[in-house]
């Protein structure tokens, strides 16, 4: 029965002679892991588990040391993060026993931005009963609430002049803003440390468009040629082609959009750098100085780790481009498909697509074909190639000429007008506006030549259609989800950058030309597509491919090994993702496959859910493996382990994401899957940009060179590869040293 489940877990741990703190940790970990999953024949509900856990008798008898464990603090954060179940007496109990734990749980629950919650009212009540402990804490929250309210109210006010505009109208002003304020700095390579970066601006524009999609009339998304022409004639072309015979530019609306954008950037920055930092960044502390707050850094090492992980991610992008170039140069068939027009840009597009394809295969287990949301089967490499060729097209045919016009004319509107007019003068009247659009048939025709293969020298329209589906975000569907309050998996527009309104498809050259298509592809599949039918197969494929890479180095590898019943004292040990043995060393690997995160909040959730659970799994599995090796001769034989000697066991959490790299979870090291692969392949050199491809100052004058065959400039194994040396390379993070 679920009501006694957690007391039973606690009692069983104590019966094994474990300390009370450990027994409480076991029970709290079971709760955090969603156990029990069923109550009789029915699935257990989250509210039911809360009710059962917080009613457990053992919680009222725990010493302060038990509450100071991470699992108990996270359980409190889970309670404070929901509104379906109330148990205020447990807060009063912990407040007297371990107030610092409760305060941290309130932060981790994100209550600073949820002060309308019933759980926050329970916290506020503690300021009355224990003012010396909680009144200052509550005051901090109230300052955050006021600051947040001021920013939200300002945005509500600034939205009013734009309330009647359609999403396309807003896209016009966003595009004008991008060409005036974003692209000149990017093209010139200027460093603007006090200004928001491009990603912050894009995110703010996306938030504004999400507001518009959630509030606009559905008819505003069923665009016709007439509606598109009317919108652009009023909101875009007067800036590009001013005329005394036509209505002038709507500078008032452009100024209103710019003001709203600034306010949205400010709100987003407040949330990410203040509210979410307060909630999820344990490397800082907020101190009240009168009616304002100051941030004090309390753990410089933890904050530096976040920046270092970001640098590693950038270097991994370099690594995969070099891998892609190497694969491209080894494929005459692919090289034959590269168009001689804009040869350098097209070569780079092919190399980038190949690098991302290798990454999706080796790191994420993606097969050659996947299903789009529309149900079509997509050739993944061709989909990647299509988006990279789109980027190359927008760089060569939009950004470069725009940059030249801007240098000549000195004003963004004049430069944009020259660019658009030049397109109209071409024989086929090319669209060179800041927004491009076409109907579905025309877009398929445009993509079809990019699907050329030796078997289909003219390409395939069906393949082009599938590619289009893969990259398309249906704004009518997104708007419906937003109106219903479902924002959990709203596509970031870079993840699906072809925007569908009615039968027309829109793209933004100013975004497509500079976005990271590799990240877009990964998150398209692994974030938005996490529930795809292929996702489970991909996870298994990751394990097998990594196992094969270990075998190439001489390891014996077992994938998905199930310990036989009775082989372990721990009935919950479960499946071992990967066992690898060589030279008396045995690696026990727990693999986790997720997506690439951008916020401190998302990273914290990953650490306290997926990675915390992985550490707990290894905590159970390593003793189970050791126990099985003592009894299972077949297992030792399969791993080529000597029957006499005990192997030296090393256990790691292997994760497809870079967050929390080289940190320990229950004593087990977490490393990225890509680091393991690079260490096994001995390819550290490609992390260090040996050809200088990433040293170009900016988009406008960047040049790209394909790497020639070159000798490795260093090796991780100067004395030859061995299991012991490999383990040392990983545990000392040697892959990341030796920067060029």
Q: Taking residues 733-739, what's their average pLDDT?
A: 82
CA-only gyration radius of the chain, Å: 28
Strand 377-379 vs strand 369-371: parallel, antiparallel, or unpaired? Answer: antiparallel
362, with CB counted inside 10 A (0-12, 13-18, 19+), is buried
**Among candidates 576, 552, 630, 157, which has minimal Cα distance to 362?**
552
pLDDT in tens, 358-370: 999 999 999 999 9
Given a contact cutoff of 8 angstroms between Cβ atoms, the answer to whether 543 and 476 are in contact is: no
- Predicted pLDDT of residue 157: 98
pLDDT for position 192: 45
> Residue 224 is encoded by which pair of tokens?
């016709």
* Burial group, residue 670, by CB count within 10 angstroms (0-12, 13-18, 19+): buried
Q: Measure the CA–CA gap between 432 and 439, rounded to whole angstroms.
A: 16
Per-residue confidence band for 738, with pLDDT thresholds at 50, 70 and 90: low
pLDDT one-digit tens code per residue, 164-190: 999 999 999 999 999 998 888 778 766
Say whether 679 sits in a helix, a strand or coil: helix
CB atoms within 10 A of CB 384: 28
Tens-digit pLDDT profile for residues 393-405: 999 999 999 999 9
Rounded Cα distance between 467 and 68, Å, is 51
What pLDDT is recorded for position 670?
97
Confidence of residue 349 (pLDDT cuts 50, 70, 90): very high
For 329-341, what is the mean pLDDT?
87
Is the per-residue pLDDT at 490 higher than 80? Answer: no
Element (H, E) at 446: helix 440-447
From residue 325, alpha-carbon distances to 506, 686, 708 in Å are 31, 11, 9
pLDDT digits (tens, 9 = 90+) for 641-653: 998 888 999 999 9
- pLDDT, position 574: 81
How many other C-beta atoms are found inside a 10 Å radius of the C-beta of residue 634? 8
**Reported confidence tier of residue 698, pLDDT bands at 50, 70, 90:** very low
Q: Which residue has the higher pLDDT, 417 or 190?
A: 417
H runs (alpha helix) in 98-224: 99-108, 118-129, 131-159, 167-177, 183-188, 198-215
Which two tokens mark 540? 């298994």
Distance (Å, whole) CA 624 – CA 622: 5
For residue 90, how far is the Cα from the chain centroid?
35
Q: What is the mean pLDDT of residues 64-72?
A: 97
Note whether 363 and 680 are within 8 A (CB): no
Share of the chain above pLDDT 90, in %: 70
- Are the beta carbons of 606 and 658 closer than 8 angstroms? no
C-alpha 471/C-alpha 436 separation (Å) is 15
pLDDT tens-digit series, residues 118-147: 999 999 999 999 999 999 999 999 999 999
User: With 90 as the cut, is the pLDDT of residue 376 above it?
Assistant: no
SS3 content of the chain, % helix, strand, coil (to 5): 60, 10, 30
pLDDT computed for residue 487 by the predictor = 66
> What percent of the chain has a predicted confidence (pLDDT) above 70?
93
- The residues, ordered by sequence, that sit 6+ positions from 712 with a Cβ below 8 Å of its Cβ are 682, 685
Query: Confidence band (pLDDT; 50, 70, 90) for 3?
Result: low
Q: How confident is the model at residue 281 (pLDDT cuts 50, 70, 90)?
A: very high
Three-class SS string for 461-496?
HHHHHHHHHHHEEEHHHHHHHHHCCCCCCCCCCCCC
Helix (H) or strand (E) holding 386: helix 380-394
């599949």: which residue's tokens?
A: 525
For residues 391 and 384, give the distance between their C-alpha atoms in angstroms, rounded to a whole number.
Answer: 11
Would you say the C-alpha torsion 144, 147, 153, 155 has a positive or negative sign?
negative
d(CA 210, CA 220): 14
Q: Burial letters for 424-441: b for 16+ Cβ neighbours within 10 Å, e otherwise?
A: eeeeeeebbbbbbbbebe
pLDDT class of 571 with cuts at 50, 70, 90: low
SS (H, E, C) 394-416: HHHHHHHHHHHHHHHHCCHHHHH
What element of type H or E holds 32? helix 20-32
* DSSP codes, 36-68: --EETTEEPPHHHHHHHHHT-GGGGG--HHHHT
pLDDT over 70 (residue 81):
yes
- Residues of CATH 3.40.1350.10 domain(s) within the chain? 534-736
Residue 652: phi and psi, rounded to 5, are -130, 155
What are the φ and ψ backbone dihedral angles of 627, each rounded to 5 degrees?
Answer: -65, -40
Beta-carbon neighbour count of residue 69 at 10 Å?
Answer: 18
Nearest to 647 by CA among 586, 733, 595: 586
Residue 557's nearest CA partner among 573, 584, 581, 577 is 581
Distance CA(579)–CA(498), nearest Å, equals 43
Average pLDDT, rounded, for the chain: 90
Predicted confidence (pLDDT) per residue in 509-533, tens digit: 999 988 889 988 988 888 877 777 7
Structure tokens at 38: 């069923």
**Token pair of 522 as six digits:** 């990964």
**For residues 409-418, average pLDDT:** 94
* Partners of 378 in beta bridges: 370
- CB distance 328 to 335 below 8 Å: yes
For 159-179, the three-class secondary structure string (H helix, E strand, C coil) is HHHHCCCCHHHHHHHHHHHHH
Nearest-5° Cα angle at 371, 459 to 335: 35
What pLDDT is stored for residue 291 in this prediction? Answer: 87
CATH number of 534-736: 3.40.1350.10
For the residues 589-605, what does the mean pLDDT come to?
A: 90
> CA end-to-end span of the chain, whole Å?
61
Identify the residue with better confidence: 166 or 45. Answer: 166
558-584 burial: b if 16+ Cβ within 10 Å, else e? ebebebeeebbeeeebeebbbbbbbee
| Contact present, 577 and 543 (Cβ < 8 Å) | yes
Please determine, for residue 425, whether its predicted confidence score (pLDDT) is greater than 60: yes
Q: With b meaning 16 or more CB within 10 Å and e meaning fewer, what string describes 605-631?
A: ebbbebbbbbbbbbbbbbebbebbbee
Closest listed residue to residue 723, CA positions, set 480, 551, 605, 602: 551
In degrees, rounded to 5, the angle at the alpha carbon of residue 429 between the alpha carbons of residues 428 and 432 is: 130
614-631 mean pLDDT? 93
pLDDT at 488: 63
Rounded to an integer, the average pLDDT of 83-93 is 93
In this prediction the pTM is: 0.90
SS3 280: helix
Q: Which of 71-75, 78-82, 303-307, 656-660 has the lowest mean pLDDT?
A: 303-307
The pLDDT score that the predictor gives to residue 706 is: 44
What value, to the nearest 5°, has the Cα angle with vertex 511 and ends 507 and 516? 115
Report yes or no: 205 and 261 within 8 Å, Cβ to Cβ: yes
Q: What does the alpha-carbon distance between residue 621 and residue 572 come to, in Å, rounded to a whole number?
A: 8
């Amino acid at each position: 029965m679920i009501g006694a489940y957690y007391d039973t877990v606690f009692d069983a741990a104590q019966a094994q002679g474990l300390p009370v703190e450990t027994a409480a940790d076991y029970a709290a970990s079971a709760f955090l892991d969603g156990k029990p999953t069923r109550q009789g024949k029915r699935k257990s509900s989250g509210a039911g588990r809360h009710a059962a856990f917080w009613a457990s008798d053992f919680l009222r008898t725990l010493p302060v040391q038990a509450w100071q464990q991470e699992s108990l603090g996270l359980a409190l954060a889970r309670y404070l993060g929901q509104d379906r179940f109330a148990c205020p007496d447990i807060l009063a109990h912990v407040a007297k026993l371990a107030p610092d734990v409760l305060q941290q749980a309130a932060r981790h629950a994100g209550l600073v931005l949820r002060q309308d919650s019933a759980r926050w009212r329970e916290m506020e009540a503690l300021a009355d009963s224990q003012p010396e402990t909680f009144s200052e804490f509550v005051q901090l929250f109230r300052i955050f609430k006021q600051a947040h309210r001021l920013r939200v109210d300002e945005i509500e006010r600034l939205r009013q002049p734009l309330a009647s505009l359609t999403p396309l109208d807003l896209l016009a002003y966003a595009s004008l803003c991008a060409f005036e304020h974003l692209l000149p700095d990017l093209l010139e390579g200027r460093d603007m440390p006090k200004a928001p970066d491009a990603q912050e601006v894009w995110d703010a524009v996306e938030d504004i468009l999400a507001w518009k999609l959630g509030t606009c009339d559905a008819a505003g998304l069923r665009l016709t040629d007439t509606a598109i022409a009317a919108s652009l004639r009023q909101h875009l072309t007067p800036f590009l082609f001013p005329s005394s015979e036509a209505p002038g530019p709507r500078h008032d609306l452009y100024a209103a959009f710019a003001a709203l954008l600034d306010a949205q950037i400010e709100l987003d920055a407040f949330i990410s750098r203040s509210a979410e930092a307060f909630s999820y960044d344990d490397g800082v502390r907020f101190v009240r100085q009168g009616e304002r707050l100051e941030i004090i850094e309390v753990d410089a090492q933890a904050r530096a780790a976040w920046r270092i992980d970001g640098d590693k991610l950038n270097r991994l992008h370099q690594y995969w481009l070099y891998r892609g170039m190497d694969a491209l140069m080894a494929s005459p068939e692919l090289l034959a498909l590269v168009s001689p027009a804009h040869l350098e840009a097209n070569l780079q597009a092919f190399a980038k697509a190949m690098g991302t394809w290798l990454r999706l295969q080796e790191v994420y287990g993606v097969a050659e074909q996947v299903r789009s949301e529309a149900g079509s089967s997509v050739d993944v490499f061709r989909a990647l190639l299509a988006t990279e060729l789109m980027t190359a097209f927008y760089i060569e045919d939009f950004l470069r000429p725009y940059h030249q016009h801007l240098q000549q004319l000195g004003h963004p509107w004049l430069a944009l007008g020259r660019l658009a007019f030049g397109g109209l003068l071409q024989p086929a009247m090319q669209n060179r506006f800041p927004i491009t659009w076409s109907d579905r048939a025309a877009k398929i025709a445009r993509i079809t030549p990019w699907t050329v293969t030796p078997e289909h020298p003219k390409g395939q329209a069906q393949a082009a259609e599938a590619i289009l589906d893969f990259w398309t975000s249906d704004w009518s569907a997104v708007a419906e989800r937003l109106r219903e309050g479902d924002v959990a998996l709203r596509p970031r527009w870079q993840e699906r950058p072809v925007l569908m309104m009615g039968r027309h498809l829109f793209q933004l050259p100013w975004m497509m030309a500079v976005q990271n298509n590799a990240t877009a592809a990964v998150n398209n599949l692994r974030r938005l597509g996490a529930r795809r039918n292929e996702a489970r197969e991909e996870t298994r494929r990751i394990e097998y491919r990594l196992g094969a890479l270990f075998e190439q180095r001489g390891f014996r590898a077992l994938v998905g090994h199930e310990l036989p019943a009775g082989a372990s004292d721990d009935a919950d040990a479960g499946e071992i993702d990967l066992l690898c043995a060589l030279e008396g060393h045995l690696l026990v690997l727990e693999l986790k496959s997720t997506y690439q995160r951008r916020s401190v909040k998302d990273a914290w959730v990953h650490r306290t859910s997926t990675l915390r659970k992985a550490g707990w799994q290894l905590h159970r599995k390593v003793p189970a493996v050791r126990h099985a090796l003592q009894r299972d001769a077949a297992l030792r034989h399969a791993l080529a382990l000597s029957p006499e000697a005990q192997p030296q066991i090393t256990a790691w959490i292997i994760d497809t994401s870079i967050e929390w790299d080289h940190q320990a979870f229950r004593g087990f090291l977490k490393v990225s899957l890509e680091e393991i692969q690079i260490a096994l392949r001995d390819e550290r050199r490609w992390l260090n940009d040996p050809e200088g491809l990433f040293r170009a100052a900016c988009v406008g004058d960047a040049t790209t060179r394909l790497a020639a065959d070159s000798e490795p400039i260093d090796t991780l194994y100067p004395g030859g590869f061995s299991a012991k040396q490999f383990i040392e390379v990983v545990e000392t993070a040697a892959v990341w040293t030796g920067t060029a």
